[in-house]
Amino acid sequence: MKTKKFKLEAGQIVQLIAPMGGCIASDKITVEGLPVAYMYREEPEFEHDSGWRFFSGTETQEYADNSNNLAIYDVNTIANYDPTIIPYLELEEGVELERTEATDKFIVIEE
């Protein structure tokens, strides 16, 4: 397995939010540097899991199904990649959000 080359180096990560645990994010964000376009919060799956999942919106189902393309990060790490997610991080489990076209705002996706 090849080593991932992250867009941000460890020394570039600063504390932007209060600790809230881990999340799952796509390499499209952490390796390719794309902004978060789709995020949702589900029931936590592991100890210290915030339930947050972050995607660029460009992932195919095949890409997302390959666990090598996703990893567990501290939510603060993803906030460093895309600070526009910060105002939404306190939303409850079950929420699904999508970035509105050409803005830094997210809207709740109604079921």
Q: Using CA atoms, how far apart are residues 57 and 92, in angstroms rounded to an integer?
A: 21
- pLDDT tens track for 62-109: 999 999 999 999 999 999 999 999 999 999 999 999 999 878 899 999
3 occurs within a structural domain: no
Three-state secondary structure call for residue 95: coil
- pLDDT tens track for 5-37: 999 999 999 999 999 999 999 999 999 999 999
27 occurs within a structural domain: yes
Range of the domain at 74: 16-108
Q: How many domains does the chain have?
A: 1
The whole-model pTM stands at 0.94
Three-state secondary structure call for residue 98: strand
- Predicted local distance difference test score (pLDDT) of residue 63: 98
Written in H, E and C, the secondary structure of 6-50 is: CCCCHHHCCCCCCCCCEEEEEHHHHCCCCCCCEEEECCCCCCCEE
